[in-house]
Amino acid sequence: METSGAIIQAFIAPLVIGGISAVLGALISITDKIVNNYGDLVIDINSGKRELEIKGGAALLLTLAENGIFIPSACGGRGSCGACKVKVVSDIGPHLPTETPFLAKEEMADNIRLSCQVKVKENFQIEIPDSLFNVKQYEGTIERIVNLTHDIKEVYVKLPEGEEIDFVCGQYGQFEAPPYNKIKTPTQRAYSMSSAPSDKNHLEFLIRLVPGGIVTTYVHERLTEGQKINVVGPFGDFNVKDTGATMIGVAGGSGMAPFKSIFNHMTDTGEIQTREIWYFFGARTKDDLFYLDWLNELDAKYEKFHFVAALSEPQPEDDWEGETGLITEVLARYLAERVDRTQPVEGYLCGSPGMLDACMAVMRQFDMREDKIYFDKFA
């Protein structure tokens, strides 16, 4: 008897617990639908320039994206990149603890919010740069993948038939990796376009493998030619100023991308013949250099274009006769001895936050004005 009682208990107990869990789950779901139902709301963008009729309850970033307005985000709305800043004109309460680490005092005073953290629970009035109205999502096709070095790939994406993109050299796109392994949702990361703006049916990116990186690992281990991929863009305000000032460009690794776009565009327009340009590119060994033939050809062909490659740790087999040292050391030598600083000079940088900080320190040391040094600090 005791045995059969224990067996009944063993069967009944899980059923009872399961039943209670199901009821609780249903209650939570119903409560969620009632409590988080904010009904039909309106988001007013840039004082009536666009009005979105939306269902409330979701994060502003997601709500806008669902309605074709793409705010830059490098972490997919997880609140870890601080890129998705939007000015909220309406009073929606104090900043959240998840926002404050990413906002300067002036930004907080100006009602700048992280759109991934702010939920739309009432009618909203927001302000965004007009350029974001031009941002679109494209389902492109991978036309070509080229290994530039052991850890950098050139990825050439064809846009859907009949679609074109207008962008300015230096802007970036968000490249989306689909879910794989334990990654359950699509993941986007920002990469500068390396293609020229005249190639309106394609986008090209240089993507360096970041160990542990979700999108770069996908690109390096799984992405294949012919595959469909989502790209959102163009974003960013890093671009070459139309001043004619001497241009000092500094990059390393995949930071080459915007410069490839810029120099090809300048070749198309003829600006490469009229503007003084110094381009410094740093790598560790010769194996980490790429596009050397093209850049040396520009250097030889155009009197005002100067290409300086530097290796920080050249190997004996490299047989390297060029500049050596960290790119900041080489930059400092050239600013001291070679670059004509009696003329207006502008700095253009692309690289990691650490590289940008180090280059800016050198440029400041040589009296280059900070407001004349341009970069996109998204790494």
Partner 1 sequence: MKMSPEYTKAQANMQPGVITSDGFLGNDERPIVEIIADDEAEMKRASLEFDETVALMRHLLNESRKGLGEPVTVDGKWIVQAFEARGFLASPFEDGIFRKINAKVTLIHEGEPTEHSILYSDLSLHLIEKRHFFQGKGGSFRISPAAIKRVLFAD
Of 45, 87, 88, nearest in space to 69 by CA = 45
Comparing CB distances to partner 1, the nearer of 192 and 264 is 192
- Across 144-156, b (16+ Cβ under 10 Å) vs e yields ebeebbebbbbbb
Amino acid identity of 139? E
CB of 173 to partner 1, least distance (A): 16
At residue 211, φ and ψ (nearest 5 deg) are: -55, 130
CB of 147 to partner 1, least distance (A): 18
CB of 241 to partner 1, least distance (A): 23
Peptide bond into 160 cis (omega under 30): no
Comparing CB distances to partner 1, the nearer of 124 and 191 is 191
Q: How far apart are CA 31 and CA 8, in angstroms?
A: 34
Do residues 257 and 156 touch, judged by C-beta distance below 8 A? no
Q: How far apart are CA 128 and CA 88, in angstroms?
A: 9
Comparing CB distances to partner 1, the nearer of 142 and 379 is 379
CB of 312 to partner 1, least distance (A): 6
Residues that bind partner 1 (CB under 8 A): 74-76, 78-83, 98, 101-102, 181-185, 187, 210-214, 252-253, 255, 282-284, 288, 312-313, 326-328, 351-355, 358, 377-379
At residue 111, φ and ψ (nearest 5 deg) are: 60, 30
Comparing CB distances to partner 1, the nearer of 199 and 287 is 287
Comparing CB distances to partner 1, the nearer of 105 and 184 is 184
Helices (H) and strands (E) in the chain, counts: 9, 17
Comparing CB distances to partner 1, the nearer of 196 and 326 is 326
CB of 121 to partner 1, least distance (A): 22
CB of 118 to partner 1, least distance (A): 17
Comparing CB distances to partner 1, the nearer of 132 and 210 is 210
Do residues 114 and 52 touch, judged by C-beta distance below 8 A? no
CB of 352 to partner 1, least distance (A): 4
Give residues with Cβ within 8 angstroms of 8, minimum separation 6.
Answer: none
Do residues 127 and 49 touch, judged by C-beta distance below 8 A? no
